[in-house]
Structure 1
Amino acid sequence: MQSPLFNYAEQQSQERYVVQNPQLLRVSLAGQDDILARKGAMVAYQGLVDFDGEYQSSNQRRTRSHTGEGLDLMRCSGQGTVYFANLAQYIHVVDVDQDGMTVDSAYVLALDSTLHTEVIAVDSQYGVSGTGKYQLNITGRGKVALMTSGQPLMMQVTPDKYVSADADAIVAWSSGLRVQMQAQTHNASVRRRRGDTGEGWELSFLGTGFALVQPSEVMPPQNAAIGQGIAAQYGVGGNGAHGQNQSNVWS
């Protein structure tokens, strides 16, 4: 059999994490350190590999139910090669060092089991009920595979050049950065998007590090009625940071 499809054969590499193509991740298991991956993200594997649901403590389950932030993972162990993907999103491998990385858990595809994760809060400067954003802080030494909708933009943050990004487009940033969630609007309009611009909450980063932004804002259409009542329209309550809008906290 002959076909141009054979140009997409497996890549041979000694690296543990290999981006097989922009939307497919290849991970090698050697029977020692396990891999934690997004549930259901395995698309193929070779060798003797076991897949088990990852245990969540009562505190982790409680935190996720209150914040909507957290990882729903499976543990991959054994010896072989596993391929991961999710909705044909673009995949990027990041080395986490002692500085740590903060990320929206919706964009995590896989990570080394040796890394530690913890849910943290990014509060709004206005203190408005239902506003703010919860994120996942990843610390330790290891690799994390992130996903983006489209090819991302990596922005450098320095003491003399701070960066602001739409809260719906930001994917990850250096944990050492100082972060503030804000909206460039006036007091009476804090709860709604900025006038007729369609822009809403943003995160501002100061210090030294990076901010990773994707060319997509995963959010409801402007003025869409999500849920019921005025609270739902503003992302408060069931559709806010404390609700079930897990894939995109857009308050």
Structure 2
Amino acid sequence: MSKYSISEFLKQTEQVDKDQGLFELETQRMLEVNLDGQVWAKAGSMISYNGKIKFEREGMFEHGLSKTFKKAFTGEGTSLMKATGRGKLYLADQGKKVTVLDLRNEVIHVNGNDLLAFEPSINWDIKLMKRIAGMMAGGLFNVRCEGTGMVAITSHYEPLTLRVTPGNPVITDPNATVAWSGGLQPEFQTDITLKTFFGRGSGESIQMKFAGDGFVVVQPFEEVYYHSK
């Protein structure tokens, strides 16, 4: 049989149940949700589904509103959708690598553009990085996820996790920062001496400084966001 036959293609690419639970990594860049109830996902991330599933896109929230559950979040137009029903739901985001985290009464902060899906048992809240509003075009929002349940995040290529220990802070580029542990509160700083190395419109390099005890996840890619016109 030819290795390029249709039957061989099906053998290599056909969906296979792995019995991993609610979230399954069908491939490194595709998340399968074995839905029986409800899940939150990034709006526009659905690529296929079967069964009876209803999708609801939530409206924009007011920036001054502060409560645990908000109907949507925005980071240059990014928002959440709620999928309700029973069936198989397949999610992906621009071919980015998907990582599933099983939180056990833990907290993680995720860049608003890198949150793909999470269980309804997760408490989430929007955090606006007000200090850099106007200083850079994107990365202004992150989502604080807390509780017990599955959270799926995305990254361009393989993520790298850096340990942060007392006395040894970690400095990152905001556009390459994917997530960080709940106990860390990043500070923003600028480095004018680096302006010749970065094509920033502001002429400065904006950095995130993580100090304390925890970890920060970065990707080998600068994700640039644009304000919708």
TM-score, normalization: structure 2? 0.78
In the alignment, does 2:24 pair up with 1:18? yes
Question: 1:147-175, CA deviations, whole angstroms, 9 ceiling, x for partnerless residues?
Answer: 11111111122224321111111011012
Alpha-carbon spacing, 1:141–1:183, altered in 2? closer, same or farther (3 Å): same
Residue 215 of structure 1 pairs with residue 215 of structure 2: no
Query: Which secondary structure state, in structure 2, belongs to the residue aligned with residue 181 of structure 1?
Result: strand
Q: Does 1:95 pair with 2:102?
A: yes
Among residues 9, 32, 35, which one is paired with 1:29 in the alignment?
35
Aligned residues of 1:123 and 1:181 also touching (Cα < 8 A): no
**Contact 1:158 1:207 (8 Å CA) reproduced:** yes
Matched residues in 2 for 1:141 and 1:22: separation?
23
Task: Identify if the C-alpha distance between structure 1 residues 115 and 206 changes in structure 2 by more than 3 Å, giving closer, same or farther.
Answer: same
1:47 aligns with 2:54: no
The answer as to 2:210 corresponding to 1:205 is yes
Out of 167, 171, 194, the position equivalent to 1:164 is 171
Q: Aligned to 2:62, which of 59, 63, 82?
A: 59
- 2:125 alignment partner in structure 1: 118
Residue pair 1:99, 1:176 contacting (<8 A) in 2 also: no
The Cα offsets for residues 97-131 of structure 1, whole Å up to 9 and x where unpaired, read as: 4341112111111111222222224465xxx8734
In the other structure, the counterpart of 1:148 is: 155
- What 5-or-longer segments of structure 2 have no aligned partner? 1-5, 199-203
Residue type matched to 1:59 in 2?
E
What do residues 79-108 of structure 1 show as CA deviations (whole Å, max 9, x unaligned)? 211111121111111223434111211111
Structure 1, unaligned runs of 5 or more: 187-193, 221-238, 247-251
Q: Which structure dedicates a bigger proportion of its chain to strand?
A: 2
Match of 1:230 in 2: none
Amino acid at match of 1:19: L
Q: CA RMSD for the aligned pairs?
A: 3.1
1:196 aligns with 2:200: no
| Matches of 2:170 and 2:228, distance apart in 1 | 26
Q: Tell me the amino acid that sits aligned with residue 23 of structure 1.
A: R
Q: Percent identity?
A: 26
Aligned length: 211
Q: 2:112 aligns with which of 105, 114, 117?
A: 105
Structure 1 residues 67 and 215: CA distance shift in structure 2, 3 A: same
Classify 1:201/1:97 alpha carbon distance in 2 versus 1 (closer, same or farther; 3 Å): farther
- Residue 249 of structure 1: aligned partner: none
Contact 1:69 1:119 in 2 (8 A): no
CA distance in 2, matches of 1:108, 1:129: 21
CA-to-aligned-CA distance 1:217-251 (integer Å, 9 cap, x gap): 1238xxxxxxxxxxxxxxxxxx7xxxx369xxxxx
TM-score normalised to structure 1 length:
0.72
Report the Cα offset of residue 60 of structure 1: 6.1
2:62 corresponds to which letter in structure 1? Answer: N
Distance 1:159 1:5 in 2: 52
Contact 1:26-1:82 at 8 Å conserved across structures: yes
Equivalent in 2, 5, 9 of residue 4 of structure 1: 9
SS in 1 for 2:216: strand
Amino acid at match of 1:17: F
Residues 56-84 of structure 1: per-residue CA shift (max 9 Å, x gap): 47536978999747851221122211111
